Amino acid sequence: MARVGYLRVRRKQEIEEFENKAKVDKIFIDLTDEFGFTNGDSLKSMLEQLEFQDTVVIRNLCDVADDVIELRKFIVTLRDMDVALVMLESNDLSILTPQGYETLSMIVEFQKDKAKGQQLKQMKAGRPSKPYPPNFLEVYEAYRTKNVNGSKSVKGLSGPEAAKKLSISYNKFRELVKIFELKV
């Protein structure tokens, strides 16, 4: 059961400070660009060399991930190997609890779903589809509202009137109504 450290640094002083605080058997270091980003070769190497029930010491979670997907992957790796995590600059380890992990997993799935939607939107051929006109719901409700006398044949707004209020063609209005009323 080794105690290993990992950090991303830009300056030698950061390494020295970490060594003094962390008290680790081995340190894995990735040098960063001016914005704190790195290719993470040392992190990958550390994760490959970890053994069951080792302890990993880091400054904070920003050192091990650039986004929540990477953070979740890091935490999964530690959990699978029963590796303890020590953060020197944070007292909040709630992300490592089962509830914290579940929350993180939900965020990752949310981001994946949103990214998939964006990708599908970009792949669609032709003009980009526009959302409903800004006041569509208000006009639609007026279009579907019956007059006070209760007659089914008389509506609050006719289709052409509704289209005119939305500044779109009547055919486009009918198309939007069909899409809006579609039951899946």
Region 46-69 average pLDDT:
91
The fraction of the chain above a pLDDT of 70, given in percent, is 86
pTM: 0.59
Q: Please report which confidence band the pLDDT of residue 153 belongs to, taking 50, 70 and 90 as the band edges.
A: very low
Match 């009918």 to its residue by tokens.
174
The ranges assigned to domains in the chain are 3-98, 136-181
The residues pairing with 57 across neighbouring beta strands, listed in sequence order, are: 5, 86
pLDDT over threshold 60, residue 154: no
In 158-180, which positions are buried (b, 16+ CB within 10 angstroms) versus exposed (e)? eeebbbebbebeeeebeebbeee
pLDDT at 109 exceeding the cut of 50? yes
Q: Which of 100-114, 120-134, 148-162 has the highest mean pLDDT?
A: 100-114
For residue 53, pLDDT beyond 80: yes
Is the distance from CB of 179 to CB of 172 less than 8 angstroms?
no
- What is the CATH architecture assignment of 3-98? 3-Layer(aba) Sandwich (3.40)
